[in-house]
Structure 1
């Protein structure tokens, strides 16, 4: 009995070790992929999504990023879709299961495909629709940058879901950092433009003030000359 329990304990530990090794290995791979494809959100999404589809043998994947100005989820990357029946480019956070996942910041695993999702998870390689959908928020430090959709013809194992969530956290961290960098750069450019406009206005105001001062001086000189002329006339009388 003790031997059997010990063997079970060893087997359990071995499985956990294998899962940990696989998770760390995949994280290292996607981190490397991200680091070499971080010039834009689009490039980052394409590279990370391709890695996720390959690792989990998915037939379809999509990345939707949150546009904070318009408050919509925008499709920035899609692989394996049915091009003859394209999906909506934007959705509101309050719409669809994907929007709900973004709003709540919680992963959703669908073992049955809802009718509204048939159009966007259809495999481009055939006429069969995927039977399982995994929707993961791109969330890091309580900030959700977007959502990843993965679709497969087979079930997602619990371990795979945990690993996928970990990979998406790494992707989210880089996406948030990249977006912050772009926003800061945009703000700096906006500030420069404001400063340039302010400088131009100050120059225009200075020039206008200078013209006004010159006019006042000229009027003063003219009046002074008129007074001198009048005094001279009075002297002659």
Structure 2
């Protein structure tokens, strides 16, 4: 503190160090002392430490006052402030010396107390060592006696158990008969025999899976039966793979069959759609089916036109048109996505069978679209819910049908254009022939008129010649008179 009063340099190392003591080192040391004080059993020492800490806090407050009053170089130029600060500094030095003496007294008392505790601890450890030595000798004698008494009852079962475990480690599951005693060894033998039986059951289950019997039942030995649970997981995965293969084969066979239908030649589009719908309803095991095609001949009034209906192997011819947003089919047309209902309203549709009229359990409506262009709608009703792989199959098949319909539509339009073009060519040929005939008649008429004109000109020339002759004769007659 004396250096702070005498040195007017703001960033002097002693000043920086004192600031660190106030800001960090003393608060940490104070916290440690308070923490240690809580573990002291002697309340007098604890109270002395509390008093010491309070006095140190007061001393630090006085130091803080000096540090604040002499914080800048200008504060040292004031003659009164350094003098007052030096007086306080002397008082602080005296307090620190007194605090140091007080602290050393506490430390000496604590050292004395610690020394007494160490002596007591050493005596207790010596007593404990002698007690442990006596107990160790007693345990050795008792263990020796117990070993002699129980060796005959333990060695033989343990050897038998060892032989059994050795066979199991080699994969032999012969359950040798071992006498089970009413002790821990007997419990171990029983557990090993249960393990052997469980392994036999697990091996039988594995053999059934190897034979392809994926419906074989098996219960694991426990929730933590690693091998049993692994076999069950393998069986379930094989069942899943077999199911997926079956569904994949079903889909591939369907794609091939319906691809053949679309490649065949038909007299009309309606004939192809009838064949396609009947086959598809049966293939997905539905009960009824409807197929609508977008009729956009009038661009201002497009609608869905019912082209094919199937129900129970007989064709029901109906005339029906559906506008955009009308019913579920019209809604699917607008949204461009499938609609699948499993809670079918009673008034939506009924399926007639030998047992009467019944409501379907599921309705599936799939747009026939390709490249976001909807060419139609397919709708199916069934007593059974449609499986996800069936819905996916119908969706992909609808894309193929949409492509075929687009191609057929283009071909039909091309055919119509060709017929119209041929008709126009025939009309033009007829008109050309008629024009040719008219030209020939006009040419004949012109030739006839030319011939008549020539005759007329010849007749006029003859008349003129005759007129000249008459005039000459008239002149001769006049001259004679």
Q: Is the 8 A contact 2:292 2:307 kept in 1?
A: yes
Q: Secondary structure at the match of 1:146?
A: strand
- Of the three residues 322, 331, 339, the one matched with 1:91 is 322
Deviation, 1:227, is 2.0
Greater CA radius of gyration, 1 or 2?
A: 2
Inter-partner Cα distance in structure 1 for 2:454 and 2:232? 115
Deviation, 1:16, is 4.3
Inter-partner Cα distance in structure 2 for 1:34 and 1:220? 70
Once the two structures are superposed, the pairs formed by residues 42-121 of structure 1 within 5 Å of their partners are 42-70=270-298, 71-80=302-311, 88-113=319-344, 118=348, 121=349
Q: Could you list the runs of 5+ residues in structure 1 that have no partner in the other structure?
A: none
Query: Residues 74 and 53 of structure 1: is their aligned pair in 2 closer, same or farther, counting only changes over 3 Å?
Result: same
Aligned to 2:375: 145
Inter-partner Cα distance in structure 1 for 2:374 and 2:320? 19
Aligned to 2:90: none
Q: Could you list the runs of 5+ residues in structure 2 that have no partner in the other structure?
A: 1-225, 469-481
Over 6 Å off, 4+ runs? 8-11
Query: Residues 235 and 159 of structure 1: is their aligned pair in 2 closer, same or farther, counting only changes over 3 Å?
Result: same
Which structure has more relative contact order (CA 8 Å, sep 6+)? It is: 1
Inter-partner Cα distance in structure 1 for 2:413 and 2:263? 19
Structure 2 residue 398 is the aligned partner of structure 1 residue 168: yes
Q: Secondary structure at the match of 2:351?
A: coil
Q: Is the 8 A contact 2:306 2:318 kept in 1?
A: no
Q: Is the 8 A contact 2:352 2:358 kept in 1?
A: no
Structure 2 residue 407 is the aligned partner of structure 1 residue 177: yes
TM-score if structure 1 supplies the norm length? 0.81
Inter-partner Cα distance in structure 2 for 1:68 and 1:227? 71
Deviation, 1:132, is 1.9
Q: Is the 8 A contact 1:75 1:89 kept in 2?
A: yes
Deviations 1:148-207 (A, max 9, x none): 111112322222211111122222233333333333222222211111111111111222
Query: Residues 38 and 106 of structure 1: is their aligned pair in 2 closer, same or farther, counting only changes over 3 Å?
Result: farther
Inter-partner Cα distance in structure 1 for 2:403 and 2:445? 62
Aligned to 1:188: 418
Greater strand content: 1
Q: Secondary structure at the match of 1:156?
A: coil
Greater helix content: 2
Q: Is the 8 A contact 2:291 2:378 kept in 1?
A: yes
Inter-partner Cα distance in structure 2 for 1:68 and 1:40? 18
